[in-house]
Amino acid sequence: MPLLEVRDLHRSFGGIRAVNGASFDVEAGSITALIGPNGAGKTTAFNMVNGVLRPDSGSIRLEGDELTTLPP
């Protein structure tokens, strides 16, 4: 089981989609990078994973526990 599981994250601001269906796993002990061009939604995705922003839909699990409904 991955340490962190991100599935089908979506986040919009007004009519602009910042993240559209992002999914990835992070294995324990691994080094993982989130790369892409300016405006690709990297910071928005990171802020959803760390709890600063709530996703419009999708799920984030840490060691199998759902995080998307928890307060920051």
Q: In this model, does residue 47 exceed pLDDT 80?
A: yes
Q: What predicted TM-score, i.e. pTM, was given to this entire model?
A: 0.90
Question: What whole-number distance in Å separates Cα of residue 48 and Cα of residue 43?
Answer: 9
pLDDT classification of 69: cutoffs 50, 70, 90:
confident
Q: Which two tokens stand for residue 6?
A: 């991100």
Mean pLDDT of 10-32: 96
Q: In this model, does residue 11 exceed pLDDT 80?
A: yes
- Dihedral through CA 66, CA 52, CA 25, CA 56, nearest 10? 70
Mean pLDDT of 13-21: 96
CB neighbours of 71 closer than 8 A, spacing ≥ 6?
Answer: 51
By C-alpha distance, which of 53, 71, 52, 67 is closest to 7? 67
Q: In this model, does residue 72 exceed pLDDT 80?
A: no
Average pLDDT over all residues of the chain: 95
Kind and range of the H or E element at 47? helix 42-49
The pLDDT of residue 1 is: 86
